[in-house]
A and B are shown apart, each in its own frame.
Chain A
Amino acid sequence: MKKVLIFGYGNPGRQDDALGVLLADEMQKWARENNMESIDFDTNYQLNIEDALTISEYDMVIFADASIEQIDHIKLTRVESNQKTEFTMHAMSPDFVLHLCQSLYNKYPETYLLHIKGIEFELEEGLTTNGETNLNLAFDFLVNAFGRSNFPKDILDRHCIEQKGAINAKP
């Protein structure tokens, strides 16, 4: 059985920065209720070097993070290996983690990043109204994909290409 990891990251104490973590939590509840044993879940404040080892043990990885990019709601993109150095190395990007995974463990899981539009990032708990809407869209999107396949690579790839990542409809 092919293994899937859904990895949400962000700070739950900073409003919409929690979006990735909350999506992973919600998906975990759904997976338990539906006996989706091939999906594992992880969360953290940010990605770091040890996550290269973590993702090396999976066939598919879906990272989920809050985004302030110019997107309407949510967007799915394929993560490609990239060693571009960011200005911070206390935290890493998904493409950097994937590159490290490939370099150290010679593994290259099918990797995606779910960008979830966030609005506010202040020192408060709880999502904004729009953040909540975007979380629900992200949840519906993944539930729909995994409802159709335990390993929805084709569905996700097709979506990345046909919709150019933007998600305004179900896959």
Chain B
Amino acid sequence: MGQKLTIEPVTRVEGHGKVTIHLDDDNNVVQTRLHIVEFRGFERFIQGRPYWEAPVLVQRLCGICPVSHHLAAAKALDVIVGTGSEGLTPTGEKMRRLMHYGQMFQSHALHFFHLVSPDLLFGINARPEKRNVIEVAKEFKELAVQGVMMRKFGQEIIRATAGKKIHGTGAIPGGINKNLSIEERDFFVKGKDPLNIDKMIEWSQDALNLFKGYHKENRELVDTFAAFPSHHLSIVRKDGALDFYHGVLRAVDAKGDKILHDVDYQNYLDYIGEEVKNWSYMKFPFLKNLGTKNGWYRVGPLARLNTCDFIPSPLAQKEFEEFKAYTNGKPNNMSMHMHWARLIETLHAAEVMRDLLNDTDLQGRDLVTKGKKISEGVGVIEAPRGTLFHHYRIDKNDLISMCNLIVSTTNNNEPMNRAVRHVADAMISGQKSIKEGMLNAVEVAIRAYDPCLSCATHALGKMPLEISLYDKNENLLDLKTN
């Protein structure tokens, strides 16, 4: 009997996503789809609001990575107020960078230590009750403590730069509304061990070594699991360096040839389109010059290390060279290497934070610049999960008349669907029974992209886990909820 297997929602992934795997009468996979209920109402909601409110309002979108939306909106409004992203004062730009790299650091740490490490430490076929951070805490206590402290360090950086943890106000059109006091700086630089930046760098290196050790022992799994060729897109600094905060748009194909040549993201609509499919609420972005069928791309840590030429911090650069050497300098298309790339970025973020914390520009008092106002602006930033676009137009009354967002997870929509298909083909097709470990393998592939689909409400009692099984005629065969 043909079956449709539904995993809903995906465990350890934020938001309301479900996976359907359609099997034929012989249990061969005939179709896989990742269904995501994306929250789109925000673009209409913000219309009619004064533009200067946007950096705070957009944080309502997501309680998981509000800093990304905060900064992307602020960058778009920098353009509108005539400053541009490159016209900020040194204090303004460096405070924002510190906020952003702090966010990147804590987000990557959370993902690796508490979402991925259970799979690495216990294996993807381990019992579900084994694959969680509590079990990591029991058997690898020091590692779990490191994860908690790294996350806390990044959160404190955000608090110090954004002003507060909820609805931060640090970034404003044309600059920043506070600098970093000497006391705040010393908390991070001279903080009581282990909560200081030197320890964060050391632990970032330890995490990298943990992954590399796992890779060495599980090379075939890590190198082949959900591996498939793709294009890769991110912003890079104008000289080709990895840059999470600002740069030009670059895309490369699976062989490393540039297919988007360092273009100004103010013109992103000339290069990127969004396809709508009737079975998904989430759009499918693509490069217009390659069309909807071939123009899809990956974003995020793996894409960033594939598009950039070098990493501008010494320890991360050394790791980057090892990473690149593994594929002979060519783009890395192995989904599980996303974790490797993410940890190199974690180390880079820590190094950048150290350099920024020791920069006296952070104590400067020249916080805001203004220029001649225009009616439209685009802000792009590399969020933890990938490239994030914010685009606004304002009317003559300074009210927002148009807003368009392409969030990181939307950019990875097609790649995540492909990852699910690759894993399903490899691990489920032809099997007479479907084991928990196999289902988790599908989830592991999705988690590599660290998708975040939160609509930011989480009231108690709202999150059931549901698995449904259908036959080929869409008749429900089984239903399980937690």
Contact = CB atoms under 8 A, between A and B. Distances in A.
A interface, how many residues as a size bin? 35 or more
Nearest to B451: A90
B11 A85 contact: yes
Contacts of A104: 137, 141, 144-145, 148
A49 B60 contact: no
B46 to A, nearest CB: 9
A86 B133 CA distance: 11
A82 to B, nearest CB: 9
A69 B460 contact: yes
B35 to A, nearest CB: 15
Contact of A45 (B9, B63, B137, B460): B63
Nearest to A44: B165
A123 B137 contact: no
Nearest to B42: A123
B457 A121 contact: yes
Contacts of A52: 148
Given A49-B147, A50-B151, A53-B152, A12 B166 contact: yes
Given A49-B147, A104-B145, A91 B63 contact: yes
Given A10-B459, A14-B456, A66-B460, A100 B42 contact: no
Interface stretch (B77-85, B298-306, B461-469): B461-469
A85 B130 CA distance: 10
Interface string A1-25: 0000000001111101100010000
A68 B134 CA distance: 27
B60 A13 contact: yes
Nearest to A15: B457
Interface string B125-143: 0001101111101100100
Given A45-B456, A118-B459, A123-B45, A89 B60 contact: no
Interface in A61-103: 65-69, 83, 85-91, 96, 99-100, 103
Given A50-B151, A88-B13, A67 B459 contact: yes
Nearest to B461: A69
A68 B459 contact: yes
A43 B459 contact: no
Contact of A49 (B45, B151, B167, B465): B151
A48 interface: yes
Interface in B10-64: 10-15, 41-42, 45, 57, 59-60, 63-64
A67 B462 CA distance: 9
Given A52-B148, A83-B134, A67 B458 contact: no
B133 A100 contact: yes
B416 interface: no
Contacts of A46: 63-64, 458
Nearest to A65: B460
Given A48-B110, A85-B129, A53 B459 contact: no
Given A68-B460, A103-B137, A43 B9 contact: no
A14 B457 contact: yes
B452 A90 contact: yes
Contacts of B15: 88
A115 B460 CA distance: 8
B464 to A, nearest CB: 8
A66 B456 CA distance: 13
Given A44-B165, A83-B132, A123-B41, A103 B138 contact: yes
Among B42, B135, B148, the one with the most A-chain Cβ atoms within 10 Å of its Cβ is B148
Contacts of B45: 123
Interface in B247-270: none
B155 interface: yes
A13 B59 CA distance: 8
B66 interface: yes
Contacts of B461: 67-69
A91 to B, nearest CB: 6
B152 A50 contact: yes
A121 B129 contact: no
Given A10-B459, A13-B57, A49-B148, A87 B9 contact: yes
**Which 6 residue pairs across A and B have the least CB separation, nearest first?**
A45-B63, A13-B60, A83-B134, A103-B137, A50-B152, A90-B14
20 contacts: A11-B456, A12-B166, A14-B60, A16-B459, A17-B457, A45-B66, A45-B165, A45-B166, A45-B456, A65-B459, A65-B460, A69-B460, A83-B129, A85-B12, A85-B129, A85-B132, A87-B13, A88-B12, A88-B13, A91-B454
